[in-house]
Structure 1
Amino acid sequence: MAHVRTYRTNVRIGNWNEDLRLEEVDLAVTKDGGLHFGDVVMLVNMGGENREYSALSINADINSLTKIPSPGIQAPCGISAGRGIQPCTRTAFIITSVDGSPEGSTLHFEQSFALKTTSGFARGLYLTSDLKNFQKCAKKSRLQEVNLTDDASFLSRWKVVHFDPQERLEYEGQPVLANVKVLIIHCKTNQALAVLGDQVLWTTYGKEYEVTAHTFLDSHKAEQDNNHWILCTSDPAGEGLVLLNRPQSVAKDVELTQANTSI
């Protein structure tokens, strides 16, 4: 007998928490090592001095939900970095074209794109940011806010750049590889997506890190690990995430592929 979800009036939309956290999502499987428009990925930060690794996640509470026209999250909705590295509705984002590039075509460094939640319960909302002001900023850090909206505007456009400033110009226009460290830059404000280990949010899912758009530079003018993200795909062998299953082989493959694409 097929499983049927029930949504009880006394909790407004019943088991919404499980829908976001536990329903599995199939991530993209890349055969050429690159990322493509239409790919479903997870955005993972590998952690740092004051934080564990974490994944960009929908941060919905009961006030972020609606029953119309069907149960799901509504815009605007919050974003956080959760420590559960599991492909699910909360952590799945679709690389979405904003310049007419067809689905399945390769994403390149410095090319504008959008990150969209999956359809259905997650409603296909866009990761969005804008310049901070007194009324609109991140709750804890007061830095530039990042959230989910239903507006596919210029505010929801991002680009991928190489994490090493000294190699950035060389890689401009080259294909973006999956499962490697990159920066994700907001096109309008030029601020990098960041996770903050010293700003902890108490969410429905436990303690999670605040996410903001802010570029953190070290003494050498290079972006710090707060800004380093990996766009994760599934292992072609069907054994989960490439990043977690084959980290050493992935690193070798990346070195070889990057050498070939730069020739």
Structure 2
Amino acid sequence: MAHARTYRTNVKIGNWTEDLRLEEDAKKEYLEKKERGELAAQKIDFLKKNILRPVNLTVTNDGRLHFGDVVMLVNMGGENRVPSAVSINADINSLTKVPSPCIQPPCGVSAGRGIQACTRTAFIITSVDGTSEGSTLHFEQSFALKTTSGFAGGLYLTSDLQSFQKCAKKSRLQEVNLDDNKCFLSRWKIAHFDPQERLEYEGQPVPANVKVLIIHCKTNHALAVLGDQFLWTTYGKEYEVTAHTFLDSHKAEQDNNHWILCTSDPAGNGPLLLNHPQSAADNEELTQTNPGI
């Protein structure tokens, strides 16, 4: 009797009832979240499905930009950067379902290296001074850049003076984000990328698909993409976007500040810049010789 086994291996010991109940509750909670579509993986799939939905950019027949045009803001890259486009940097925490699924402000932006015309990269040139939709945009004229309505929320590209509490996450430069408030902080203007030609082009129509500067009206800083500052986003590794003017030794803005407001190919094959880069280059050369075009 002294060597008799007092328990078997299948005897439950400890707080087995509590452990079993917790496991059942966790499984029940998982199934309920899955049924409501509240799992993290489901939210990411829902976000990507909606924000990467293709968008038709505006087809411009006269080669100019107009109020109401839907464009992409593309930087053609540089020494340590590949081409990229200003993109909505939304994650699952940016989603709201009230009153309908959309991105809630404030929301960050980044420069995505996968250039495609979609909800995430499309911006509408919006009037801030009462100019009617369809009117030609001119150099040095104030305007706003708004995301498309619906899932993108119709948010405005906004910036403000750099401060200790409000600045870009990586570079600590002037922050650029998206907000629903259409105010002076969301006003921008277009300037010619060549300082020696800037006065000559002032007041002239802005051509589409050519290099320009996008200047923030309040701070007078140019929109910029940073090739040495990366953000890990839901969509991969992307460049940080800020408002900062980078000057070279000749006091001219560097390619970090050069942007192309890209429109659609009239043939319906997507962005004109990506499908017919030579046509865009010809358009830029034409404007150099005839600024009034």
Q: Taking structure 2 as the reference length, what is the TM-score of the superposition?
A: 0.85
1:66 aligns with 2:76: no
Counterparts of 1:114-133 in structure 2 under 5 Å? Answer: 114-133=144-163
- 1:17 is aligned to 48
The equivalent position to 1:91 in structure 2, one of 95, 110, 121, is 121
Sort the Cα spacing of 1:99 and 1:17 in 2 relative to 1 into closer, same or farther, 3 A: same
- 1:174 is aligned to 204
- 1:208 is aligned to 238
> 1:157 and 1:163 mapped to 2: Cα distance?
19
Sort the Cα spacing of 1:7 and 1:49 in 2 relative to 1 into closer, same or farther, 3 A: farther
The equivalent position to 2:257 in structure 1, one of 227, 237, 247, is 227
Amino acid at match of 1:256: L
Amino acid at match of 1:174: Q
- 2:32 is aligned to none
Q: Secondary structure at the match of 1:152?
A: coil
Asked if the contact 1:215–1:223 (Cα under 8 Å) also holds between the matched residues in 2, the reply is yes
> 1:97 and 1:116 mapped to 2: Cα distance?
10
The equivalent position to 1:46 in structure 2, one of 41, 66, 76, is 76
Amino acid at match of 1:15: F
Cα drift, residue 251 of structure 1: 1.7
Structure number with higher helix proportion? 2
> 1:253 and 1:126 mapped to 2: Cα distance?
29
> 2:246 and 2:287 mapped to 1: Cα distance?
28
Sort the Cα spacing of 1:7 and 1:150 in 2 relative to 1 into closer, same or farther, 3 A: farther
Give the RMSD, CA atoms, in angstroms. 1.5
1:150-173: CA deviation from partner (whole Å, max 9, x where unpaired): 000000000000000000000000
Amino acid at match of 2:61: K
Amino acid at match of 1:218: D
Identity of aligned residues (%): 79
1:55-93: CA deviation from partner (whole Å, max 9, x where unpaired): 000000111111111111100000000001100000000
> 2:84 and 2:284 mapped to 1: Cα distance?
22
Cα drift, residue 182 of structure 1: 0.3
Sort the Cα spacing of 1:182 and 1:7 in 2 relative to 1 into closer, same or farther, 3 A: farther
Cα drift, residue 258 of structure 1: 4.6
The equivalent position to 2:191 in structure 1, one of 136, 161, 176, is 161
The equivalent position to 2:214 in structure 1, one of 184, 192, 196, is 184
> 2:161 and 2:173 mapped to 1: Cα distance?
9
Q: Secondary structure at the match of 2:39?
A: helix
> 1:175 and 1:208 mapped to 2: Cα distance?
32
Asked if the contact 1:79–1:148 (Cα under 8 Å) also holds between the matched residues in 2, the reply is yes
Cα drift, residue 249 of structure 1: 2.5
Task: Tell me whether 140-149 or 12-21 shows the greater mean CA deviation.
Answer: 12-21
Q: Secondary structure at the match of 1:90?
A: coil
Q: Secondary structure at the match of 2:100?
A: coil
> 1:105 and 1:212 mapped to 2: Cα distance?
29
Amino acid at match of 2:160: D
> 1:9 and 1:256 mapped to 2: Cα distance?
53
- 2:179 is aligned to 149
Cα drift, residue 250 of structure 1: 2.3
- 1:111 is aligned to 141
1:248 aligns with 2:278: yes
Asked if the contact 2:47–2:91 (Cα under 8 Å) also holds between the matched residues in 1, the reply is no
What stretches of structure 1 of length at least 5 have no aligned partner? 1-5
Cα drift, residue 98 of structure 1: 0.2
Cα drift, residue 203 of structure 1: 0.4
> 1:243 and 1:7 mapped to 2: Cα distance?
42
1:77 aligns with 2:107: yes
1:199-237: CA deviation from partner (whole Å, max 9, x where unpaired): 000000000000000000000000000000000000111
> 2:216 and 2:248 mapped to 1: Cα distance?
20
